[in-house]
Amino acid sequence: MTGLFIHGDDYDALKSKNFWRIVPVSALQQWSENNDIGLARIFNGTSFISLSQNKNLN
Protein backbone atom coordinates (compact mmCIF):
# COMPACT_ATOMS: atom_id res chain seq x y z
CA MET A 1 0.00 0.00 0.00
CA THR A 2 1.40 3.36 -0.99
CA GLY A 3 -0.42 6.52 -0.09
CA LEU A 4 -0.77 9.54 2.13
CA PHE A 5 -1.86 9.35 5.76
CA ILE A 6 -4.52 12.00 6.47
CA HIS A 7 -4.68 13.96 9.73
CA GLY A 8 -8.39 14.83 9.75
CA ASP A 9 -10.79 15.88 12.48
CA ASP A 10 -11.20 12.27 13.58
CA TYR A 11 -7.47 11.48 13.60
CA ASP A 12 -7.16 11.03 17.38
CA ALA A 13 -10.28 8.84 17.62
CA LEU A 14 -9.11 6.64 14.74
CA LYS A 15 -5.55 6.47 16.05
CA SER A 16 -6.73 5.33 19.49
CA LYS A 17 -8.36 2.32 17.80
CA ASN A 18 -5.39 1.70 15.47
CA PHE A 19 -7.26 2.85 12.36
CA TRP A 20 -5.67 5.09 9.73
CA ARG A 21 -7.21 7.23 7.00
CA ILE A 22 -5.09 6.92 3.85
CA VAL A 23 -5.42 8.42 0.36
CA PRO A 24 -4.03 5.85 -2.08
CA VAL A 25 -1.37 7.01 -4.51
CA SER A 26 -3.86 6.53 -7.37
CA ALA A 27 -6.00 9.36 -5.90
CA LEU A 28 -3.23 11.77 -4.82
CA GLN A 29 -3.67 14.07 -7.84
CA GLN A 30 -7.37 14.55 -7.03
CA TRP A 31 -6.57 14.93 -3.31
CA SER A 32 -4.04 17.68 -4.02
CA GLU A 33 -6.64 19.57 -6.04
CA ASN A 34 -9.57 19.53 -3.59
CA ASN A 35 -8.67 17.68 -0.34
CA ASP A 36 -11.79 15.51 -0.74
CA ILE A 37 -11.89 13.26 2.34
CA GLY A 38 -14.05 10.86 0.32
CA LEU A 39 -10.92 9.82 -1.60
CA ALA A 40 -9.40 8.38 1.58
CA ARG A 41 -9.95 4.86 2.88
CA ILE A 42 -9.75 3.70 6.48
CA PHE A 43 -7.37 0.84 7.19
CA ASN A 44 -6.86 -1.21 10.34
CA GLY A 45 -3.30 -0.86 11.62
CA THR A 46 -3.00 -4.59 12.27
CA SER A 47 -3.02 -4.99 8.48
CA PHE A 48 0.38 -3.35 8.43
CA ILE A 49 2.53 -6.12 9.83
CA SER A 50 5.78 -4.44 8.94
CA LEU A 51 6.80 -1.51 6.84
CA SER A 52 10.19 -1.49 5.23
CA GLN A 53 11.94 0.24 2.40
CA ASN A 54 12.86 -1.82 -0.64
CA LYS A 55 16.66 -1.78 -0.68
CA ASN A 56 16.71 -2.50 -4.42
CA LEU A 57 15.35 0.97 -5.21
CA ASN A 58 18.38 3.15 -5.80
Which tens digits make up the pLDDT trace of 7-25? 989 999 999 999 999 999 9
Give me the pLDDT at residue 15, please. Answer: 94
Q: What is the pTM (predicted TM-score) of this model?
A: 0.73
Give me the pLDDT at residue 46, please. Answer: 84
Quote the CA–CA distance of 53 and 27 in Å, as a whole number.
22
Give me the pLDDT at residue 18, please. Answer: 93
Quote the CA–CA distance of 27 and 3 in Å, as a whole number.
9
Residue-averaged pLDDT of the chain:
85
Q: How many helices (H) and strands (E) does the chain have?
A: 2, 3
| Over residues 38-55, mean pLDDT | 76
Q: Domain coordinates of the chain in residue numbers? A: 3-47
Phi-psi group of 18: left, alpha or beta (phi > 0 → left; psi -120 to 50 → alpha; rest → beta): left
